[in-house]
Amino acid sequence: MRKIKLSNMQTARPAPSAGQFLRSFALTCAVLLGFCALLVFLLDPFFHYHRPWFGLAAVQTEKEYQVVGALDHLPYDSLIVGSSVTENNYNGWYDEAFGGQTIKAVRSYGATADLCWLLSRAHETHRLRNVYYNIDPTSLYAEPEVTFAASGCPMYLYDRNPFNDVSYLLNKTVLFEEIPHSVLMSLRGYDENTSYNWWTSKTFSREAALSHYTRSETVLPEQSEHAKDEELRGNLALLTAEVEAHPETDYYFFFPPYSALWWDNAVRTGARDFVLYDESRAMKTLLQYKNVRLYCFQADSEIIFDLDNYMDALHFRPEINHQMVTWMKEGRYELHSDADVDAQIDALRRVTDRAARSKY
C-alpha cells in the first residue's frame, strides 16, 4: 500500500465559532471606540478636561457647550458676563482699559440666576480680579431660577459626574464636526479675543432693525411699578450674594443701550414703569458695596435713536460695545449716589417718552 505524505496535503481549518466571531467583533469595536474617546479627550474642543494642547487655540464659537469648560480650564483673571449683547466684545478691549486677562461668561438669555451660576463656577478655580457684568432690564424681572437644564443645555458638560461623559467622548458631532472645525480655525489663526462673536453674519441698519419690530396699534395701561417685586427681590439677592462673597473682586455693572424701539414697546405694553423701578432699585442696592462700580448707558440719545446702530430692537453694533468700555474707563455715565440714580431714571423716562412719540 502506498503511503501518503501528510506534509504535502492542505489541512482544512475549522470555521470560527459564533463565539469567536463575536469576541473578535467586540474587541474591534472596543478598540475603535477607545480610539474615538482618546481623540476627543486629547483635542477636547469643549475644554471639558483641559485647555488646548498641541499649540492649538481655544476656539470658542459654541457658548452652550464651551463656556463652562472655558471657565474651568482656560487662563484668565477677569470676566465679561452677560447676554448676547455682550458677545460682540473684543476681550482685549477690557485688558487694555483695566489690565488683566479677560474671557467671556455669556448666556443668551442673560438671566441673573444663570450668570451668577457661571460666576460661582469661575470662582471655584480662579481668583477673579474684575467682573464686567451687563445687566439687561429683563434679567431683573426674570424668574430667579437656573435654566440650563430646562433650556436643553448639555448637562453632561455642566455637572461633575464622570460617568455621563460618554455623551461627549463618543459623540459623532464632536468627532466629525467640532474637532475638525476647531483644528481648522486654529490653523487659520483664530483670535481668542473674538470668542462667541456673531456680528459678522448680521446686518446693522435702520431697515434691519425695523424689519424685526412690529409696533402695537394700542397702548396698554401702565402696570404697577411693583408688578415684578418678587422676581426683583430674588434676582437682587443673587447679585448681592455674589458681590458680598467676593470682596476681593471689583464688579463693573453696566446697563446697555437698548434702542428706542425697545423702549417704545415697553411703553406700549405697559411695562415701562416697573422696568424703571426695577432698575432704580437694582442701582441703589448695588451702589452700597465698595467693590462695585455702576454705569448706565441707556439714555444716550445719539445711540438709541440712531437705528443704524441696531440689527433689531436691542442688539447693537460691536462699535457700541467698544464705546461702553471706553466710557467706563473714562468714568462717563458712572453713577455714584442715589441722587445720581434718580437723575438717571428721570432722564431715561424723558427718553422713553420721546421714543413712544416717535414715528417709525
Rounded to 5 degrees, what are φ and ψ at 103?
Answer: -130, 180
Q: Helix crossing, 112-125 with 229-245: angle to 10°?
A: 10
What is the DSSP secondary-structure string of 110-155?
Answer: --HHHHHHHHHHHHHH---SEEEEE--HHHHHS-SS--TTTTT--G
Enter the pTM of the model. Answer: 0.92
pLDDT at 115 over 70: yes
Q: Write the pLDDT tens digit of every residue in 18-77.
A: 777 778 778 888 889 999 999 999 999 999 999 999 999 999 999 999 999 999 999 999
CA distances from 192 to 76, 91, 180 (A): 12, 8, 17
Contacts of 169 (CB under 8 A, 6+ apart): 36, 37, 40, 41
Cell of 104: 467671556
Rounded to 5 degrees, what are φ and ψ at 357?
Answer: -90, -15
Q: Is the sign of the CA dihedral 68, 70, 76, 81 positive or negative? A: negative
Q: Residue ranges of the domains in the chain?
A: 77-161+199-357
Q: Write the pLDDT tens digit of every residue in 169-189.
A: 999 999 999 999 999 999 999
In CATH, what number does 77-161+199-357 get? 3.40.50.1110
Residue 136 in contact with residue 128, Cβ under 8 Å? no
